[in-house]
Amino acid sequence: MKTLNIDAKGKDKDPEWMQVTDAGVTITLSTPSEMNGVKVPKISLRSPTIREVRACQAAHPGDEAAVDAMLFASLAEIGEKDVIGLTVKDYNRVNRGYFRLVDEDEL
């Protein structure tokens, strides 16, 4: 059974491994991973532009996983091979962090 992480106002709180700011999100990995040749315990994504999202979609039409890998790599300033080298658990954390980052806070 999954425990809900709710704050005093009844809103979902971000998990402990995710820190969100207006500029980006930092995700603590469950397993340190190699990024740009260095083993790191965290990965940070900055907020994307529409231009970046569209460029990734144009580069990989119909391949959502490749679009995400290219976009996450660009936002973290790492190689795509580093993104696809993450464990599934950590990739899911990055994915969740990205969608939390671009989500409108007041919705």
3-state secondary structure of 60: coil
What DSSP string describes 15-83? Answer: PTTEEE-SSEEEEEEEEEEEETTEEEEEEEEEPPPHHHHHHHHHHSTT-HHHHHHHHHHHHHTS-HHHH
Look at residue 9 and tell me if it is in a domain: no
Look at residue 1 and tell me if it is in a domain: no
pTM tops 0.85, yes or no: no
What confidence category does residue 21 fall into, taking pLDDT thresholds of 50, 70 and 90? confident
What confidence category does residue 44 fall into, taking pLDDT thresholds of 50, 70 and 90? very high
State the pLDDT at residue 106: 55
Share of the chain above pLDDT 70, in %: 85
Six-digit token string for 64: 């959502």
Amino acid making up residue 102: V
Look at residue 6 and tell me if it is in a domain: no
Look at residue 86 and tell me if it is in a domain: yes
Domain of residue 97 covers 18-102
What confidence category does residue 23 fall into, taking pLDDT thresholds of 50, 70 and 90? confident
Q: What is the pLDDT of residues 74-87, one digit of tens each?
A: 999 999 999 999 99
Q: How many domains does the chain have?
A: 1
Look at residue 73 and tell me if it is in a domain: yes
